Amino acid sequence: MAKASGLLVIERILRDRQGIWQQVVEDRDLTRLTGQMLVSSVVALAVYGAVLGSFHSVQMALTSAVKLPLLFLVTLAICLPTLYLFNLVFGARLSVRQSLSLVMVALTVTAMLALAFAPISLFFLITANDYGFFKLLNVAILALSALVGLKFLTGGMRVLNEHGLLSPAVPAETRPAVAENPAPVSPAVPALVAVGAPAAPAQKEGPQPFPPGTHHPYARPPMAPKPSAPPSMTLLYIWILLFGFVGTQLAWTLRPFFGSPDMKFSLYRELDGNFYAEIFRTIAHLF
């Protein structure tokens, strides 16, 4: 298969995700793959950020085109060491390149899906010039894009778990020995009654007790215990929540991205309130 380059890497991720996961498992050519995903994500987020800022002015569009990719990349830089150390503490055998590539797949899917929504956002910007509605619409678009990207992240971690990269290595001396040529087990053969041997006593009617160690032919076999998720998978969900909280707080710190129409252009705003309070206040004002 030809290797994708530039923005076409998203097509390979969506069409051949198993090939992507296999490449991450084998730790093969991940530097080039990560570079392609980085370029794709930055370009896609820059275009979408320009659409967000175009609600206010050209200056805000250019500023948001820089700040939106910066938001995702700084959040990744803050949270990636935590994910890697979580894996080390619980014995996972992921390298830094594998952890970075895995998260970059999710980030690339998020960025390209947001770019796919950009024409819809631009359409509502032109036809329904309402600041509150435009802000909630784009927050919903980014949230949906992030959820799809995180679904790719959890899917990739499950593939790594199937290949044993999320569990500690088992020393060779502790593995159970397997016989090279195990003796075949022959089925039970009913005993032949010798000629002239006394007949076996007649069985009494009614249910008969079964010999010890045997099972009733109609008894349901014991259920195998359901394998529990490895610690690395459990910690992944905790890390996703942490990533979301860090990202939303950083977005609040880097605001404005949209630019309120009754305020002048500014690179940053004062640090008052928080992201979630602002969203609830916008919903209350809209309805």
Segment 200-220, tens digit of pLDDT: 555 555 555 545 555 555 555
Q: 231: buried, middle or exposed (CB in 10 Å: 19+, 13-18, 0-12)? A: middle
pLDDT value of position 232: 62
Cis peptide bond N-terminal to 171, omega within 30: no
Residue 2: the pLDDT is 43
Cβ contact 53:34 at 8 Å: no
Neighbour count for residue 12 (Cβ, 10 Å)? 19
Residue 143: partners with Cβ closer than 8 Å, 6 or more residues away: none
- Written as one string, the DSSP assignment of 93-116 is ---HHHHHHHHHHHHHHHHHHHHH
Task: Give, for all 287 residues of the chain, the pLDDT tens digit.
Answer: 444 444 478 899 988 888 999 999 888 889 999 999 999 999 999 999 999 999 888 999 999 999 999 999 999 999 998 888 877 777 777 888 988 999 999 999 999 999 999 999 999 999 988 888 998 999 999 999 999 999 999 998 888 878 776 665 554 444 454 444 554 544 444 444 444 445 555 555 555 554 555 555 555 555 555 555 556 677 788 888 999 889 988 988 888 888 777 888 777 777 676 777 777 777 887 76
Dist CA 54 CA 48 (whole Å)? 10
